[in-house]
Structure 1
């Protein structure tokens, strides 16, 4: 059975634009998924990237155009300057880690729920009430927001170290069990083709 390790940030606009397409590809191929939220700004610092606020204006201008084009192409609403970005991505990441450990809900829906909250709904995903509501909406116990914080913090840090060691440098980033790597929401179709044996 194929497996996908999914490295992402709950603050990434590109992870938001991925929607639940990766989950659909995994279901099509019977692949399992491990969700690995991480601090993408720390990842940039470790792998030669530059945080958005430090990028040259020409790069940021293209980023804005590209995000707008991609959101229109995908039919997904996107606010280029969300009210609560950047914010602390740790609480939402800890919730995803706790939910993955607990089971019983829809992790794809949970992950996309946090991303949609930032980029389309003007919600602050660092706030406890938003974390709880997003957990509940995806079929998880909202009390997971309170439990497993220490384990969540440890896993969140470990995900960053694993990402660096496995060649991850951005988000979203998908790695198969055969170490085939795909960077970006615009490579999900290639992931599908690879799992189909066509690439």
Structure 2
């Protein structure tokens, strides 16, 4: 059975646009997923990238065109300039780590609900109330928002180191235990084909 390490940040509009397609693909092929939220602002300088605000104007202009195009293609609503972005991604990431450890809920739904809160619902995903709502909606104990902060911080940092070692340089990034990796929500089709043995 294949395994996928899913590296992402809860601040990524491209991770939002992935929706729950990763989970659908994994279910289709009997693959397992480990969710590895990380600090993307620490990853960028370590792997040759830059934060969006520091990129050349031509790159920012392209991003402003590409995101709405991808959203329309996927028939997903997207707020290109959300009220609470950027914000502190650590609290929502810690909650995802705690939920994965605790089990009992729907991880794909949790991750997508946090991303949707930022990129569609104009909610601040650094706020405990928002995180609790997302946990509860995905079938997890909302109290997980307040637990395991130290271990969450340790795993969050470890995910960054693991990502660098796995040649991850952006988000969303999917690393399969076959040695193949896929960058971006627009490569989920390729991941599907790979798991089917066709690519």
Q: Which residue in 1 is equivalent to 2:178?
A: 178
Superposition pairs for residues 29-178 of structure 1, below 5 Å?
29-178=29-178
Deviations 1:136-158 (A, max 9, x none): 00000001011111000000000
Aligned residues: 199
- How far apart, in 1, do the equivalents of 2:198 and 2:144 lie? 40
Aligned-residue Cα RMSD (Å) equals: 0.4
**CA deviation after TM superposition for structure 1 residue 173, in Å:** 0.2
**CA deviation after TM superposition for structure 1 residue 159, in Å:** 0.1
- The alignment partner of 2:6 has SS state of strand
- How far apart, in 2, do the equivalents of 1:75 and 1:126 lie? 27
- The alignment partner of 2:84 has SS state of coil
Q: Which residue in 2 is equivalent to 1:25?
A: 25
**CA deviation after TM superposition for structure 1 residue 107, in Å:** 0.3
- How far apart, in 2, do the equivalents of 1:191 and 1:141 lie? 32
State the TM-score, normalizing by the size of structure 1. 0.99
- How far apart, in 1, do the equivalents of 2:108 and 2:53 lie? 29
- How far apart, in 2, do the equivalents of 1:78 and 1:177 lie? 32
- The alignment partner of 1:179 has SS state of coil
- The alignment partner of 2:167 has SS state of coil
- How far apart, in 2, do the equivalents of 1:121 and 1:86 lie? 14
> Where do 5+ consecutive residues of structure 1 fail to align?
none
> Where do 5+ consecutive residues of structure 2 fail to align?
none
**CA deviation after TM superposition for structure 1 residue 41, in Å:** 1.1
Which consecutive segments of 4 or more residues in structure 1 shift more than 2 A? Answer: none
